[in-house]
Structure 1
Amino acid sequence: MKKQFLVLNITMTLGLGSVFALPTAKADSISGIQSQRSSIQANIKQANQEILLVQDELSKLNEQLKRAEQAMIDNQNMIVKTENDITAANLEIQKLEEEVASLQEAIAKRNEILKERARSYQVTGGDVKYLDVVFGSTSFSDFVDRVGAVVTFMNADKDLMEKFEADKKAVEEKQASIQTKLVELTNLKTELDGMRAQITEQQQQNELLREELKQKEAAGLASKADLQQQDSSLASQEAQMAANLAPRVATTTGSSTSTKSSTTTSSYIPAAPVQGSGAVSIVTTVGNRYIGNSVYVFGGGRTAYDVANGRFDCSGFVHWAFAQAGISVGASTDSLKNAGRKVSTSEMRPGDLVFFNTYKTDGHVGIYLGGGNFIGSQNSTGVAVANMSSGYWANHFAGKVVRIIE
């Protein structure tokens, strides 16, 4: 968009700037006035053309601002959903921690029972002497009773040990589950912070764009008004002179004041059509139609509505571009970085996926075009071609390249 404003600024300067340099000279004859008016009316015609061009660009940029505003609303909704998910996950973790505490308490109690059992069966300095217990009976009946008691105690100890091991395993599994949840929460929080930063940046840029748009439009209209005022002043002079001459002259001059300001519509040069049927050609050029006509939306590019309105996030754009070549790839950076095969930076060629460490490792993805450039949906511009050889993208490129098309 900033490039568009630069073009507009240059156009306004070249097309309208010269108007302010026109002298408001007072002619001493009708022919002199007519000559000045002819020059001014030519400038008015040019001003009309330039203003229409500017207004056409303003219309496109205003549509872009509307997309960006809607994107901010959608992103904010995504943030709210993510925060709710984090709250729910925290409640689940709290519940798991309570279960773990309960299991640990049960294990501790069983451990004490086992220790007490062991002490009751053990003699000083030796092991449990079940045979002494059995053969210390005073009668056959006592012998049977003692054997039964020993078996009962041994089975009870075995059950306690098995229960102990089962509970211990359950605790370990619960703890592992908690750790997994904590990792997921950390990733969600990182992603949430990234979304907030993107929304803030979009808001700031939108405010700057609005102000620049107002200034451009005001400058164009002021230039046109200045021209029209000069023409009106000269028309009055012409009419006054004509009134002092013969009606023939008045008729002649009257016809000269009937100049119409022609209007033109701004020309629109469509993006160059995709050439060839090769998959690489398709995925590297199909997104050109959205350059300057799209907006970054977290989670965008996955519905017909998003595609029709140029609403993409980075992975959604890559998913869509490859789909236009009949190639199915994932719609998240995590799935895309594990697709195809990894290649070195020295081997990368147009059509390869390039990854950047933004708010997280491999947090941004684009399609390499060659010459150090890639196309992708950037959070500040929507779909755009960016250079990864220097500046921001060079600093955030860690060398991760994935080839989908062999």
Structure 2
Amino acid sequence: MASHRRPKQPSRTRVTVLTATAAAAVALTSQTAQADPKPTKTEVKAKVDKLYHEAEAATEKYNGAKERQETLKEEVDNLQDKVARGQGELNDLRGELGSVASAQYRTGGIDPSMQLFLSADPDNFLDKAGALDQLSGKQAEALQKVKAKQRTLAQQRTEATDKLDDLEDVRKELGDKKQKFQGKLAEAQKLLNTLTAAERAKMQEKEQRASRAAGDRVELGNEAPASQRGAAALSAAATQQGKPYVSGATGPNSYDCSGLTQWAYAQAGVSITRTTFTQHADGTKIGKSELKPGDLVFFNNLAHVGLYAGNNQILHAPKPGAVVRYESMDYMGTFQFGVRI
């Protein structure tokens, strides 16, 4: 009779080793399948440029909120000054009203007919009676002034309270906008950090070459400006070449895109608003074929603005890490329209 032996069971140590090896292999395979390939330098640059455009749009919105904050703060201060002055005027009116009441009280509360009966000099009494009537008229007038001033003060206090609420909302919005553009810049830097030191150096060298080339003589053609103020603004901006782009900066040491255009037109004696989202309404919109030197040119859903310089070139503050320079419109992204100031 054949004997039936039970198959030999693998040792616990062997099972553990095999299990761990299999798990590691599965994990490695899974990681390999899930891991994204490292982006190329070209892909990183494209993503970084996109983030810079998004950061610039957020910066312009931040600038707009900051401008509203400054306007509201000025309005609140003016209203609070008016309320303080109005309270002083109300106190003076109340003082006048008190003087009138005191004078009336001193005439006595005796019935006029009894005063006439008791008076040794009827003519003198009639003079006093006329003065009493005049005094009552002044009292009524003083009362009306007090009531009107109280209404005005109540309106001003309500308006000041509303403005303070608006100011608080804008301050919160300002914080959100700042956080957004700073986040975009941080994300761009994180992407740049995925490159090797050599790749980053090569990108930086290319950017520096672009900035140096912008400092060289640029062929702008001989297009005539549409106006003297446009020519003056462009000429002023040209003196700022080489100065760095800084988010929120309006000169004279650094600029963002709309900060440069606002500064340039201020040198020409023209006041324009602060951001791309408002500057587009500061003049007359024109098409690309109508552009003349000194016109404002807008790109990428109003996220960027520069000054048209002629021969398809613009003069602008490009992006973080760059300086004020001339650049072909072909590299600016989506053209929106021009604006003639």
The two structures have a TM-score, normalised by structure 2, of: 0.45
